[in-house]
C-alpha cells in the first residue's frame, strides 16, 4: 500500500479532484484493450503540465514507487496496465494543440490530444498526419508516440516514428528534457528521440510533441477486390507493389471476419469470398486515376474474382467503416481473443498465409485473420477462454507457432502494437541477445530505480 | 475476472451487452461526460468495467459506485458508435435497478419518486402550492424566465426555468377533443401529456391538441394517465414504482390506437416499459402492445397522419425566422427519429431551416442528472450553445420539453438572443 503521505503530496502537486483513489476509479484504470491482462493501480493522477509530471516523477523516484504512464488506454499490448500497482500517470488532461504551422508543415501538441481531434483540426487547414492506428477515435497522440503506432496509411506514408521531429520528455528523475526541434532535417548527435518513440512508457513521460505534416492529398479512390483463395490475395499484394505503385492503403480481411462484419452491419458483402482486399490510391487527381487503373489491372491479373471501384466518397466510406469494424468482429467472437501483430516481408505474404493454414490444421485452433497486407503486418487471431486453463495453454502454443513462422520468414514479433505484457514471453527469440541487453542497460541508465512502467517489454528475470 | 450474476437479477438480463464490450475505448470520443471530465469512470467502458467488478465481488454498493453509475445521461452516443454494438446504457439502467433493490432509494428521491410522481393530481397540488411562492422568495430574471419556486428550486439549484403555469393542462382541456365543425374526423388518438407540458407548458399541450383536431384528429386526454416514469425507472432505477406507473399508463390508453407524445423522453420511456419493466409474460405482452401505439408528435404527423406540406402554416413567432433543430437523444438515438422533425420544419413556408453542427449531441439535461451534476450539465450544454450560436438561428426548436428547459437555461446563461421553442410552436 502507498503511504497516505504520498497521496497528499500528489494532491499538493496537481490539486485534489485529479488524484483518484477510490476503488471504483482504480478499477477503471486496471485494463487496456487486451482481453487477458488486468491489474489495479494504487492511485491515478492526471497532471496538466510538464512541471507537474516532473514533480510526480521526482516524488515517485524518491519513494521508489512504480509509475505507469498512459494516455487513453486504447492500446492492445497490455502496455498501459499498472502490473506492479503504484501510480498511473494519465496524460489525457494535457490536451492542447499548441501550434499548427501550415508554412513549416509542422504541428506541436501536448500528449493528451486525441488523434481524431488532431486530425480534424488539421483537416480544417488542408493538412494531413498519416499514422492512423484504428483506435484513432480514442487514442492520444502521446500514446501513439510511446507505442510508435502504425495503421492502414503506413504502407505508403510510413509509421509514427517517421513524423516525430521534436519531443519534450520528463525523465525518471524529474528532469524535463528537450529533444529534436521543428526542422525536417536534424543531424545533431544521436537520434535520441527514437529512443523514446516506441519506448512504451519505460524511459520517460512524453509531455510535448512536434510532428511533421504533409498537405492533404487532393483526391483518392477506394477499391475492393474479392478472392477465392487467401494466399492468392496475399500474392496479389506483392504483385501490386512489384508493379511500381504504392497504394495509400492495402487492407486484408479473411472469410471469417468478413462474415462477422456482414452479421454486424449487413452491407451485401460477398460472404463466400475467402479474402477481401481493400485498397486506396491517393494523390493528385490524374495520378489517382492512373494508379487506380494499374492496381485494378494487377488485381485482375493476379486472380481476383471481382474488383470494385467505389463510385463516390460515400461508398468508399462504407468500405472503410467495414474494415474498421473488423477489429470488433474479431474481438467480439470469443471470451478471450489472442490477436497477434506479426509483420513479414511483403514478398513473403502468400507464404506466411499458407503457413497459418498449416498451423491451424496442426493445432486444431481456428485462426481468423485481418491486417495491413500492404506492409506485411497481419493480425491473426486465436479464439480461446482464459478461464479454461488447458485450452488457453494450447492457444498460447499455437500463437508461438505463428510467431515462429513469421520469424522464420524474416518477420518480426510486433508490427505496430508493441510488446507490453502480451508478447514479452517471445522477445528473447525475436531479438539479438546483445541488443536486448543493451536495451535493458539503457533503461537502467535512464531510470536506475526502474520506476517507469516496470514489468514491461522484457521478462523481469533478465534484469 | 470471474463474474456471478446470482444477486444481480436485472444486470443478468443484459449480460450480452455487458460482455460485448471489448474495451476498445472508442466511446471516449462520443461520450459528452468523458469529453468534460476525461476520466475513465465517466465513460461506458469504465462504467461497464465497474459493473463487472461488482459482479466479480471486487466492488460493492458504495456511494462512489452509485455516483459513477448516476453520472450518465443515457444519451446512447456510445452505443450507436460502438463497433461491437454493446448497449452499455442498458447495463447502467439495470445496475441502477439492482442497486435500488438492494439498498433502497435515498431521501428525497424516495418521497418524490415513490410517492409524488405516481400521483399526478397530488403532484399537481404540490407544484401549485410551491408556485405560490414563486416570485416572492426568488427574484425575477429576464423576461418570462424566473427562478423556479421553492419546491423546484431545491431541485433546480438556481437554474433559469419557465415559471409554473397558472393553469395546468388538465384544467384547460376536456377529456374528449373533437375536430371543429366542418372538419371530418379521420382518426382518434390518445394524447400523452408529460409532467413538464402539464405543469409548465400547458399552452404547448393545448396548441398541439388544437393542431390535431384542426387536421381531423379526435384527441383523447385520459385523466388517469400519469408520469411516464423516466426519472423513476430509467433515472433512479426504481423498477417497482416504474411498473405501477407503466401499468397505470397502459390502462389509461386502452382502446386507443395511438398514443401521441410531444416529449421525446416520455415517448421513449413509454416504449421501453417492455425492455426494463416486464417481469411477467402478461406485462411483456401488454407493454409490447402499448409500445407499438406510442408515437412522437413529428413521427405521427409525418408517418401516420401523412399531412401534406400545406397543412403546416407558420405561427406568428416563426414567420420569417431562421430555425435550427436540436435532436433530443431520446428521439434520435433511442427511437431513431431524425428525418421527420426536419421534414416538418422544412415544410413550413417562410421558415428558413439551418442544420446545426452536432445537432444530435446531448444537451446535458437528463432529468435528475442535471440536478445532481448541475455544473457538469452546464458544461455539456455550453457546447450545445456554441453549436446553436454558429448557425445564426433566431429560434432553436426541439421535440422534448426536458431539452427545452435545458436550452432555455443555457441561452440565458450564455446571453444568446435565441428563442427556445417546441417544434409544434412553429406551426399555427
Interior/surface letters B31-44, b for 16+ CB within 10 angstroms, e for the rest: bbbbbbbbbbbbbb
Whether residue B143 has pLDDT greater than 90? no
pLDDT for position B129: 66
Check residues B144 and A281 and name the one with the higher pLDDT. A281
Phi, psi of B307 (to 5 degrees): -65, 140
In whole angstroms, what is the distance from residue B268 CA to residue B271 CA? 5
Percent of chain B with pLDDT over 90: 78
Residue A264: list chain B partners with CB under 8 A.
84-85
Among partner residues B24, B45, B65, which is closest to A24 by beta-carbon distance? Answer: B65
| DSSP reduced 3-state for B180 | coil
Question: Which chain A residue has its CA at the smallest distance from B54's CA?
Answer: A24
Whether residue B388 has pLDDT greater than 90? yes
CA B300 to chain centre: 17
pLDDT for position B139: 37
Instruction: Tell me if chain B has a CB within 8 Å of the CB of A296.
Output: no
In whole angstroms, what is the distance from residue B361 CA to residue B365 CA? 11
Q: How confident is the model at residue A338 (pLDDT cuts 50, 70, 90)?
A: confident
Could you tell me which residues come within 8 angstroms of residue A22 by beta carbon, excluding any fewer than 6 positions away? B62, B64
Could you tell me which residues come within 8 angstroms of residue B396 by beta carbon, excluding any fewer than 6 positions away? B323, B324, B325, B326, B356, B388, B407, B411, B418, B419, B420, B421
Instruction: Tell me if chain B has a CB within 8 Å of the CB of A135.
Output: yes
Cell triple for residue B286?
401488454
Question: Which chain A residue has its CA at the smallest distance from B65's CA?
Answer: A24
Instruction: Count contacts between A and B (CB, < 8 Å).
Output: 97
Q: Which of A45, A32, A46 is nearest to A83 (CA)?
A: A32
Could you tell me which residues come within 8 angstroms of residue B425 by beta carbon, excluding any fewer than 6 positions away? B204, B207, B315, B317, B318, B397
Q: Which of B401, B22, B422 is nearest to B200 (CA)?
A: B401
Q: What is the mean pLDDT of residues B247-261?
A: 97
Whether residue B98 has pLDDT greater than 70? yes
Q: Dihedral angle at the C-alpha atoms of B263, B268, B274, B275, nearest 10 degrees?
A: -150
Instruction: Tell me if chain A has a CB within 8 Å of the CB of B28.
Output: yes
Could you tell me which residues come within 8 angstroms of residue B347 by beta carbon, excluding any fewer than 6 positions away? B309, B312
**What 8-state DSSP symbol labels residue B178?**
P
Cα-atom radius of gyration of chain B, to the nearest Å?
A: 21
**CB < 8 Å from B in window 298-357 of A:** 324-325, 327-328, 331-332, 337
Report ipTM for this prediction.
0.94
- State the distance between the two ends of chain A, measured CA to CA, in whole angstroms: 24
In whole angstroms, what is the distance from residue A333 CA to residue A329 CA? 6
Question: Which chain A residue has its CA at the smallest distance from B63's CA?
Answer: A24
Yes or no, beta carbons of A328 and B24 under 8 Å apart: yes
Q: How confident is the model at residue B148 (pLDDT cuts 50, 70, 90)?
A: very low
CB A48 within 8 A of CB A81: no
Strand order across the beta sheet in which A176-180 lies? A97-101, A106-109, A204-212, A164-171, A176-180
Yes or no, beta carbons of A23 and B59 under 8 Å apart: yes
Whether residue B34 has pLDDT greater than 90? yes
Could you tell me which residues come within 8 angstroms of residue A243 by beta carbon, excluding any fewer than 6 positions away? A294, A298
Cell triple for residue B6?
446470482
Residue A325: list chain B partners with CB under 8 A.
83
B267 CB-side CA count, 13 A? 32
Whether residue B141 has pLDDT greater than 70? no
DSSP letters along A375-409, please? Answer: GTEE--EEEE-TTSHHHHHHHHHHHHHHHHHHHHT
A26-65, pLDDT tens digit by residue?
999 999 998 889 999 999 999 999 999 999 999 999 999 9
Q: Which of B371, B313, B338 is nearest to B154 (CA)?
A: B371
Q: Which of B366, B89, B330 is nearest to B341 (CA)?
A: B330
Whether residue A7 has pLDDT greater than 70? yes
Q: What is the mean pLDDT of residues B65-94?
A: 95
Instruction: Tell me if chain B has a CB within 8 Å of the CB of A186.
Output: no
In whole angstroms, what is the distance from residue A249 CA to residue B417 CA? 48
Cell triple for residue B74?
443515457
pLDDT for position A387: 85
Could you tell me the domains of chain B?
9-103 (1.10.1060.10), 109-162 (no CATH), 169-304 (1.20.1050), 309-426 (3.40.50.1860)
Residues counted in chain B:
428
Q: How confident is the model at residue B158 (pLDDT cuts 50, 70, 90)?
A: low
Instruction: Tell me if chain B has a CB within 8 Å of the CB of A31.
Output: yes
CB A365 within 8 A of CB A398: yes
CA A312 to chain centre: 29
Cell triple for residue A24?
471504483
Beta-sheet pairing, A367-368 with A381-384 = antiparallel
Q: What is the mean pLDDT of residues B183-193?
A: 96
Whether residue A345 has pLDDT greater than 50? yes
Whether residue A462 has pLDDT greater than 60? no
Could you tell me which residues come within 8 angstroms of residue A103 by beta carbon, excluding any fewer than 6 positions away? none
B102-139, pLDDT tens digit by residue?
998 877 777 777 777 777 777 777 777 666 555 444 33
Q: Is B345 left (phi over 0), alpha (psi -120 to 50) or beta?
A: alpha
Angle between helices B374-391 and B401-413 (to 10 degrees): 80
Least confident range from A115-129, A422-436, B97-111, B334-348: namely B97-111
Cα-atom radius of gyration of chain A, to the nearest Å?
A: 22
A297-335, pLDDT tens digit by residue?
999 999 999 999 999 999 999 899 888 878 777 877 788
Residue A318 CB neighbours (<10 A): 15
Residue A277 β-bridge partners:
A225, A252
pLDDT for position A1: 65
Instruction: Tell me if chain A has a CB within 8 Å of the CB of B115.
Output: no
B12 CB-side CA count, 13 A? 7
Cis, peptide link before residue B195, omega less than 30° from 0: no
pLDDT for position B2: 67
In whole angstroms, what is the distance from residue A182 CA to residue A166 CA? 6
Check residues B156 and B395 and name the one with the higher pLDDT. B395
Beta-sheet pairing, A219-227 with A164-171 = unpaired
Amino acid at each position: 500500500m502507498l503511504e497516505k503521505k504520498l497521496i497528499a503530496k500528489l494532491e499538493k502537486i496537481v490539486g485534489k479532484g485529479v488524484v483518484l483513489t477510490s476503488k471504483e476509479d482504480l478499477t477503471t484504470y486496471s485494463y487496456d484493450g487486451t482481453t487477458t491482462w488486468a491489474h489495479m493501480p494504487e492511485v491515478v493522477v492526471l497532471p496538466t503540465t510538464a512541471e507537474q509530471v516532473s514533480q510526480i516523477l521526482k516524488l515517485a523516484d524518491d519513494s521508489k514507487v512504480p509509475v505507469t504512464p498512459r494516455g487513453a488506454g486504447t492500446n492492445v499490448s497490455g502496455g498501459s496496465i499498472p502490473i506492479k500497482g503504484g501510480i498511473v500517470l494519465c496524460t489525457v488532461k494535457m490536451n492542447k494543440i499548441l501550434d499548427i504551422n501550415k508554412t513549416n508543415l509542422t504541428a506541436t501538441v501536448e500528449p493528451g490530444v486525441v488523434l481524431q481531434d488532431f486530425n480534424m483540426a488539421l483537416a480544417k487547414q488542408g493538412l494531413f498526419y498519416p499514422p492512423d492506428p484504428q483506435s484513432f477515435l480514442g487514442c492520444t497522440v502521446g500514446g501513439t508516440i510511446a507505442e510508435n503506432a502504425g495503421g492502414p496509411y503506413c504502407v505508403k506514408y510510413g509509421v509514427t516514428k517517421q513524423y516525430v521531429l521534436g519531443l519534450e520528455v520528463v525523465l525518471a528523475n524529474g528532469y524535463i528534457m528537450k529533444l529534436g526541434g521543428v526542422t525536417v532535417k536534424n543531424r545533431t548527435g544521436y537520434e535520441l528521440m527514437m529512443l523514446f518513440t516506441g519506448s512504451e512508457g519505460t524511459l520517460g513521460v512524453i509531455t510535448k510533441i512536434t510532428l511533421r505534416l504533409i498537405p492533404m492529398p487532393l483526391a483518392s479512390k477506394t477499391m475492393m477486390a474479392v478472392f477465392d483463395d487467401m494466399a492468392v490475395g496475399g500474392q496479389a499484394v506483392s504483385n501490386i507493389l512489384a508493379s511500381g505503385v504504392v497504394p495509400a492503403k492495402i487492407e486484408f480481411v479473411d472469410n471469417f471476419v468478413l462474415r462477422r462484419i456482414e452479421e454486424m452491419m449487413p452491407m451485401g458483402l460477398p460472404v463466400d469470398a475467402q479474402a477481401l482486399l481493400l485498397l486506396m490510391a491517393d494523390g493528385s487527381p490524374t495520378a489517382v486515376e492512373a494508379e487506380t487503373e494499374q492496381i485494378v489491372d494487377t488485381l485482375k491479373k493476379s486472380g481476383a474474382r471481382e474488383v470494385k471501384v467505389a463510385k463516390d466518397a460515400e461508398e468508399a466510406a462504407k468500405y472503410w467503416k467495414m474494415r474498421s469494424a473488423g477489429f470488433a468482429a474479431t474481438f467480439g467472437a470469443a471470451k478471450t481473443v489472442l490477436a497477434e501483430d506479426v509483420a513479414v516481408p511483403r514478398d513473403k505474404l502468400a507464404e506466411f498465409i499458407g503457413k497459418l493454414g498449416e498451423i491451424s490444421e496442426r493445432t486444431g485452433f481456428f485462426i481468423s485473420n485481418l491486417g495491413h497486407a500492404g506492409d506485411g503486418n497481419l493480425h491473426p487471431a486465436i479464439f480461446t477462454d482464459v478461464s479454461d486453463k488447458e485450452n488457453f495453454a494450447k492457444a498460447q502454443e499455437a500463437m508461438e507457432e505463428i510467431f515462429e513462422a513469421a520469424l522464420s520468414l524474416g518477420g518480426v514479433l510486433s508490427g505496430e502494437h508493441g510488446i507490453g505484457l502480451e508478447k514479452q514471453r517471445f522477445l528473447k527469440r525475436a531479438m539479438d541477445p546483445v541488443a536486448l541487453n543493451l536495451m535493458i542497460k539503457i533503461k537502467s541508465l535512464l531510470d536506475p530505480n526502474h520506476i517507469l512502467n516496470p514489468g514491461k517489454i522484457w521478462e523481469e528475470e533478465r534484469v | 475476472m470471474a463474474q456471478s450474476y446470482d444477486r444481480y437479477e436485472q444486470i443478468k438480463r443484459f449480460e450480452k451487452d455487458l460482455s460485448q464490450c471489448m474495451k476498445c475505448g472508442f466511446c471516449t470520443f462520443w461520450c459528452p461526460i468523458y469529453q468534460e471530465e476525461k476520466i475513465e469512470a465517466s465513460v461506458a467502458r469504465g462504467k461497464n468495467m465497474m459493473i463487472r467488478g461488482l459482479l466479480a465481488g471486487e466492488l460493492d454498493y458504495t456511494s462512489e459506485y452509485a455516483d459513477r453509475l448516476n453520472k450518465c445521461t443515457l444519451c446512447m452516443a456510445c452505443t450507436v458508435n460502438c463497433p461491437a454494438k454493446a448497449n452499455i446504457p442498458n447495463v447502467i439502467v439495470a445496475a441502477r435497478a439492482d442497486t435500488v433493490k438492494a439498498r433502497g432509494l435515498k431521501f428525497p428521491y424516495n418521497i418524490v419518486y415513490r410517492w409524488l410522481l405516481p400521483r399526478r393530481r397530488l403532484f399537481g397540488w404540490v407544484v401549485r402550492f410551491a408556485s405560490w411562492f414563486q416570485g416572492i422568495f426568488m427574484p425575477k430574471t429576464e423576461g418570462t424566465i424566473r427562478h423556479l419556486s421553492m419546491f423546484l428550486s431545491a431541485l433546480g439549484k438556481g437554474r433559469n426555468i419557465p415559471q409554473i403555469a397558472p393553469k395546468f393542462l388538465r384544467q384547460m382541456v376536456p377529456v374528449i377533443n373533437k375536430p371543429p365543425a366542418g372538419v371530418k374526423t379521420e382518426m382518434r388518438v390518445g394524447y400523452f401529456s408529460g409532467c413538464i407540458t402539464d405543469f409548465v407548458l400547458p399552452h404547448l399541450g393545448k396548441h398541439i391538441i388544437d393542431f390535431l383536431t384542426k387536421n381531423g384528429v379526435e384527441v383523447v386526454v385520459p385523466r388517469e394517465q400519469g408520469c411516464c416514469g423516466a426519472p423513476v425507472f430509467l433515472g433512479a432505477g426504481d423498477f417497482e414504482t416504474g411498473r405501477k406507473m407503466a401499468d397505470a399508463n397502459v390502462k389509461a390508453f386502452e382502446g386507443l390506437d395511438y398514443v401521441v407524445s410531444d416529449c421525446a423522453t416520455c415517448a421513449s420511456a413509454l416504449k421501453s416499459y417492455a425492455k426494463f419493466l416486464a417481469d411477467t409474460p402478461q406485462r411483456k405482452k401488454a407493454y409490447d402492445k402499448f409500445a407499438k401505439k406510442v408515437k412522437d408528435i413529428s413521427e405521427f404527423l409525418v408517418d401516420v397522419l401523412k399531412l401534406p406540406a400545406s397543412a403546416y402554416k407558420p405561427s406568428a413567432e416563426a414567420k420569417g425566422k431562421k430555425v435550427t433543430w436540436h435532436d433530443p437523444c431520446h428521439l434520435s438515438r433511442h427511437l431513431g427519429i431524425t428525418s421527420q422533425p426536419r421534414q416538418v420544419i422544412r415544410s413550413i413556408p417562410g421558415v428558413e431551416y439551418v442544420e446545426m453542427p452536432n445537432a444530435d449531441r446531448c444537451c446535458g439535461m437528463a432529468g435528475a442528472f442535471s440536478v445532481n451534476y448541475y455544473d457538469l450539465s452546464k458544461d455539456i450544454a455550453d457546447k450545445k450553445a456554441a453549436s446553436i450560436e454558429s448557425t445564426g438561428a433566431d429560434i432553436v426548436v426541439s421535440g422534448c420539453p426536458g431539452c427545452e428547459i435545458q436550452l432555455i437555461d443555457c441561452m440565458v446563461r450564455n446571453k444568446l438572443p435565441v428563442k427556445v421553442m417546441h417544434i409544434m410552436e412553429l406551426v399555427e
